[in-house]
Amino acid sequence: MSPSKLSFTIRATASRLEKGFIAIPQKFKNWFPEERSKIRLAFDDEDVTTEVTFHPHDPSGKETRVFGTKEWFSKRQIVPGDLITISVENQTERVYRVVLDRFLREKEQRESRQRLESAATESDAQHELSTLVRLARKRPRRVAREELLRLVQHTAPEKRLRVASNVSDRHETVPAGIRVLLRELHDGKCQLCSFTFQKRNGQPYFEIHHLEPAVGHHPANLLVICPNCHAQLEHAMVTDLERDGIWLTSLRINGRRVAVRQPLLGQATKVKLLALIIAAMLPTIGRAIAR
């Protein structure tokens, strides 16, 4: 939406959603026709417009009304409290745009996630994480946790590619987006001993260990690790790996049991439990609606 366009924001209410109209506050009535007429609406990011009915200001009321939006309410699953922005596209031709702020924000989040996943550098990935934090209005660590859980739920372990170098073949490195999310989640601290140190650029130093070198960058296959622990995992006797589902929770290094900090483990369990509860409640909800 262009910043130069005339626009204002209203909040959806239950009565207006039920009746299928948008109420225009009286102070914006001059942006609309003076008489009852047809106007055209563009919804969200669509290029096409739809003809709807406009009812001008009634002296007995405090608002003008735009009818013909019930289908859009249903399509976007708009609920009371949702914010809707109305802007003037072309006042002379009576063309307006209505945008569900939540829809626009979710679209921006999807696009930012795609850029995060394909980021070529950590700087680019950090920029997209900051964008997601702004859009979600949540703390960076919480957003990083949610994004990693989303990757866990929507991606499967896959073969880790090998890339050629002048010295020898080596495995491809962890994508910048995943590195940034892991850094934010763990604050750069080793999942085995919690050690890290600050680099000259102010960022925590950490390395990433693949539990199965030939497997890809699925979050459950990755450990944020300090150089010392990384060297031990690469060269010491590592045995007796214990897991809770897909998550490594402890192992032995030269016979010594070491716990693995897994902050995503509890969150993943909560997500699964919530999904089970919702699935169990659906028949009951359906019967209640049917009544």
**Domain coordinates of the chain in residue numbers?**
7-101, 118-269
Q: For residue 232, which of 216, 199, 209 has the smallest C-alpha distance?
A: 209
pLDDT of residue 213: 84
Place of tokens 């090998």: 162
Describe the strand order of the beta sheet including 238-244 as a list of residue ranges.
238-244, 247-253, 256-259
Per-run averaged pLDDT (10 residues), the chain, 291 residues: 75 94 90 93 95 83 87 96 96 96 94 95 96 94 94 73 47 85 96 96 95 88 96 96 94 97 77 51 49 47
Q: For residue 209, which of 200, 222, 219 has the smallest C-alpha distance?
A: 222
Cβ burial of 8 (10 Å; 0-12, 13-18, 19+) is middle
Q: For residue 194, which of 226, 222, 220 has the smallest C-alpha distance?
A: 226
Q: What angle do CA 231, 236, 241 make, to 5 degrees?
A: 100
pLDDT of residue 158: 64
Place of tokens 């096409």: 48
Q: Are 143 and 133 in contact (CB under 8 A)?
A: yes
pLDDT of residue 162: 54
Q: Are 179 and 125 in contact (CB under 8 A)?
A: yes
pLDDT of residue 171: 47
- Residue 182, classed as helix, strand or coil, is helix
Token pair in block for residue 131: 């964008």
pLDDT of residue 274: 46
According to CATH, the topology of domain 7-101 is: At1g16640 B3 domain (2.40.330)
| pTM of the entire predicted model | 0.73
**Phi, psi dihedral angles at 165 (to 5 degrees):** -135, 170
pLDDT of residue 155: 74
